[in-house]
Amino acid sequence: MNVKLLDLVPQYAPLREEIQRAMDQVCDAQSLILGPHVERFEKKLADYCQTRHAIGVSSGTDAILCALMGIGIQSGDEVICPSFTFFATAGCIARLGAKPVFAEIDPKTFNIDPADIERRITPRTRAILPVHLFGQMAQMERINEIARRHNLVVIEDAAQAIGARRDGRPACSWGLAGCLSFYPTKNLGAFGDAGAICTNDDDLAERCRKLRVHGSGHTYYHEMIGGMFRLAAIQAAVLEVKLKYLDAWHDQRRKNAAMYDKLLAGSAINTPPIEPENQSIYNQYCIRVPNRDHIKQALADNGIGSAIYYPLPLHLQPCFAYLGGKEGDLPVTEQACREILALPIYPELPEEQLRYVAKTLLDITNVR
Ligand SMILES: *Cc1c(COP(=O)(O)O)cnc(C)c1O
State if residue 114 touches ligand 1 by the CB under 6 angstroms criterion: no
Task: Check if the beta carbon of residue 76 is closer than 8 Å to that of residue 68.
Answer: no
On the question of pLDDT at 288 being above 70, the answer is yes
The structural domains of the chain, ordered by start, are: 9-243 (3.40.640.10), 246-365 (3.90.1150.10)
State if residue 125 touches ligand 1 by the CB under 6 angstroms criterion: no
Confidence of residue 368 (pLDDT cuts 50, 70, 90): very low
Q: Name the closest-CA residue to atom 5, ligand 1.
A: 60
The mean pLDDT value of the chain amounts to 97
Q: How far is the CA of 16 from the centre of ligand 1 (A)?
A: 26
**pLDDT one-digit tens code per residue, 69-85:** 999 999 999 999 999 99
Strand bridging mode 177-181 / 153-157: parallel
User: What single letter denotes the amino acid at residue 156?
Assistant: E
- Cα→Cα distances 353→1, 251, 350, 360, 361, Å: 8, 18, 5, 10, 12
State if residue 58 touches ligand 1 by the CB under 6 angstroms criterion: no
- Among residues 264, 197, 242, which one has the least CA distance to residue 46? 197
Q: In the predicted model, what is the mean pLDDT of residues 137-145? A: 98
Mutation to probe ligand 1, out of 129, 134, 160 (largest number of atoms < 8 A from CB) = 160
Q: How far is the CA of 93 from the centre of ligand 1 (A)?
A: 14
Quote the pLDDT of residue 367: 57
Alpha carbon distance 308, 34 (integer Å)? 35
Task: Give me the DSSP letters along 53-86.
Answer: EEEEES-HHHHHHHHHHHTT--TT-EEEEESSS-
Atom of ligand 1 nearest to the CA of 88: 10
On the question of pLDDT at 244 being above 60, the answer is yes
Task: Check if the beta carbon of residue 146 is closer than 8 Å to that of residue 139.
Answer: no
Q: In the predicted model, what is the mean pLDDT of residues 119-141? A: 98
Q: How far separated are the first and last CA of the chain, in Å rounded?
A: 22
Which residues touch 115 (CB under 8 Å, ≥6 apart)?
none
Atom of ligand 1 nearest to the CA of 59: 7
Atom of ligand 1 nearest to the CA of 131: 13
Atom of ligand 1 nearest to the CA of 182: 7
On the question of pLDDT at 262 being above 70, the answer is yes
Q: What is the pTM of this model?
A: 0.98
User: What single letter denotes the amino acid at residue 337?
Assistant: C
Q: How many CA atoms lie within 13 A of 305 on its CB side?
A: 11
Strand bridging mode 99-103 / 165-166: unpaired
State if residue 171 touches ligand 1 by the CB under 6 angstroms criterion: no
**pLDDT one-digit tens code per residue, 80-128:** 999 999 999 999 999 999 999 999 999 999 999 999 999 999 999 999 9
- Cα→Cα distances 61→88, 124, 193, 259, Å: 6, 24, 10, 33
- Taking the CA atoms of 298, 301, 304 and 308 in sequence, report the sign of the dihedral they define: positive
**pLDDT one-digit tens code per residue, 169-223:** 999 999 999 999 999 999 999 999 999 999 999 999 999 999 999 999 888 999 9
